[in-house]
């Protein structure tokens, strides 16, 4: 089975483990990625970390950083040269890169599918609405990251096969608990983009209201909100207890989680966004770190009953959840064990790859 995947997300090194797992399942896989991708965190450069068993090749990217309008140089030639049976477009159907890949794939007679995280039913202006409709009418299948994302496309009239699979899993051999916990203050962590909708300001408010003194807050990530968040810590009087670390290469992330006693993801729903998955929750759970998430979007479905859910925007509830884990070691230990088992049961790269290959086989079935 020959599959060509187009994915800017696969510039992240630890995500490439899924590609190795796909290739292990008798798939001749060519993955095309840009040399880098720009977003509010800055420019992320391709990390070649896990490249066994498949080909990872770079195409020039035009309009880098423009989520809707970016497209690739030489994509049509790559598709013609590789002659794939399936073109897996790891993009939303309203993006120009999806239109470009679908056009060339159809000319070659390849089966096609797109991937979507979009969990809000949004109406787009021209030309995005026209492009989206064309994709929905002509693509052969789709993968949605969550059931709520799948429902968006069903509501928009997509009737072809669609399977719910996370875009990437987690490697439980990379993300795993450490045997020994060093002496340190009770460490609350956040990992991700520093943007308003992630609710980091709520986390700072919660930390400022903790009644116990033996804590610190570790915020790992980059984004436009950094200066505002640092100013907020000063206003709240918690600067000495708060550490801001810039974004690090994905291959260094597994070593970060064992330094945490709890990970918080207090995302805030907005008119045009709600939490689509929360990958850091899965990474933390695999690492044996208890998690607390708000009730925004997919977070409750990811955490299930192996962590704590609090109302979004509620700093007092978040502070109470953190305090509960600090006070109740048995509860924390239970979440550590159950969280890791939940990842092993549902969220590994191997499981995601196997489900994805099942989608490929169904596309090619008579």
| Domains, in order of start, for the chain | 2-169+348-364 (3.40.50.11930), 186-346 (3.40.50.2000)
pLDDT for 251-274, tens place per residue?
999 999 999 999 999 999 998 899
Rounded Cα–Cα distance for residues 30 and 2 (Å):
8
Which strand ranges, in their side-by-side order, compose the sheet holding 215-220? 242-245, 215-220, 186-191, 262-265, 291-294, 308-310
Of all residues in the chain, the percent with pLDDT exceeding 70 is 100
Residue among 6, 132, 136, 13 at smallest CA distance from 71: 6
- Alpha-carbon distance of 250 to 144, in angstroms, equals 24
pLDDT mean over 321-337: 97
What was the pLDDT predicted at 40?
87
Q: Looking at residue 41, what is its pLDDT?
A: 87
- Distance between CA atoms of residues 288 and 258, nearest Å: 8
Q: Give the H/E segment covering residue 327.
A: helix 315-327
**Residues 136, 142: Cα–Cα separation, whole Å:** 9
Mean pLDDT, the chain, rounded, equals 96
Residues 110 and 83: their CA atoms lie apart, in Å, by 8
Mode of pairing for the β-strands spanning 36-39 and 42-45: antiparallel
Would you say residue 179 has pLDDT above 90? no
Judged against a pLDDT cut of 80, whether residue 182 lies above it is answered with no
Q: Which of 89, 92, 33 is nearest to 61 (CA)?
A: 33
Q: What is the pLDDT of residues 100-120, one digit of tens each?
A: 999 999 999 999 999 999 999
CB atoms closer than 10 angstroms to residue 25: 17
- Cβ atoms of 265 and 198 closer than 8 Å: yes
| Residue 356: pLDDT over 80 | yes
The answer, yes or no, to whether residue 17 has pLDDT greater than 90, is yes
- Residue 180: predicted pLDDT: 76
Q: Mean per-residue pLDDT for 149-160?
A: 96
What's the pLDDT tens digit per position in 188-228? 999 999 999 999 999 999 999 999 999 999 999 999 999 99
Q: Give me the pLDDT at residue 232, please.
A: 98
Other C-beta atoms lying within 10 Å of the C-beta of residue 212: 11
127 cis-preceded (ω within 30 degrees of 0) = yes
Q: Mean pLDDT throughout 286-290?
A: 97
Check pLDDT > 90 for residue 183.
no
Share of the chain above pLDDT 90, in %: 97
What pLDDT digit, counting tens, does each position of 42-100 carry?
A: 899 999 999 999 999 999 999 999 999 999 999 999 999 999 999 999 999 999 999 99
Question: What is the C-alpha to C-alpha distance for residues 178 and 257, in angstroms, rounded to an integer?
Answer: 10
DSSP helix, strand, coil percent of the chain (3-state; round to 5): 40, 20, 40
d(CA 16, CA 26): 17
């Amino acid at each position: 089975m020959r599959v060509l995947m187009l994915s800017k997300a696969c510039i992240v090194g630890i995500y490439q483990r899924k590609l190795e797992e796909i290739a292990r399942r008798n798939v001749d896989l060519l993955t095309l990625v840009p040399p880098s991708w720009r977003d509010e965190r800055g420019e992320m450069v391709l990390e070649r970390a896990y490249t066994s068993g498949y080909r990872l090749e770079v195409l020039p990217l035009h309009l880098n950083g423009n989520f809707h309008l970016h497209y690739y140089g030489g994509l049509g030639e790559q598709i013609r040269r590789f002659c794939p049976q399936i073109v897996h477009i790891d993009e939303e159907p309203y993006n120009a890169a999806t239109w470009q890949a679908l056009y060339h794939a159809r000319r070659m007679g390849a089966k096609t599918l797109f991937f979507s995280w979009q969990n809000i039913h949004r109406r787009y202006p021209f030309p995005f609405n026209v492009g989206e409709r064309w994709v929905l009418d002509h693509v052969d299948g789709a993968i949605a990251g969550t059931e709520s994302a799948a429902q968006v496309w069903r509501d928009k009239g997509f009737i072809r096969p669609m399977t719910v699979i996370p875009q990437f899993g987690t490697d439980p051999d990379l993300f795993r608990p450490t045997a020994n916990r060093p002496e340190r203050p009770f460490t609350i962590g956040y990992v991700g983009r520093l943007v308003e909708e992630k609710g980091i300001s709520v986390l700072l408010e919660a930390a400022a209201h903790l009644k116990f003194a033996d804590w610190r807050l570790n915020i790992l990530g980059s984004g436009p909100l950094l200066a505002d968040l640092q100013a907020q810590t000063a206003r709240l009087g918690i600067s000495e207890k708060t550490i801001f670390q810039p974004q690090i290469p994905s291959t260094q992330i597994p070593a970060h989680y064992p330094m945490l006693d709890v990970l918080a993801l207090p995302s805030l729903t907005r008119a045009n966004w709600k939490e689509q998955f929360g990958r850091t929750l899965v990474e933390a759970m695999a690492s044996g770190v208890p998690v607390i998430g708000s009730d925004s979007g997919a977070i409750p479905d990811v955490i299930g009953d192996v962590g704590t859910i609090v109302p979004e925007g509620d700093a007092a509830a978040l502070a109470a959840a953190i305090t509960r884990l600090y006070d109740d070691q048995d509860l924390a230990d239970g979440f550590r064990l159950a969280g890791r088992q939940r990842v092993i049961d549902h969220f590994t790269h191997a499981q995601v790859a196997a489900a994805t290959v099942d989608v490929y086989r169904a596309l090619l079935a008579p």
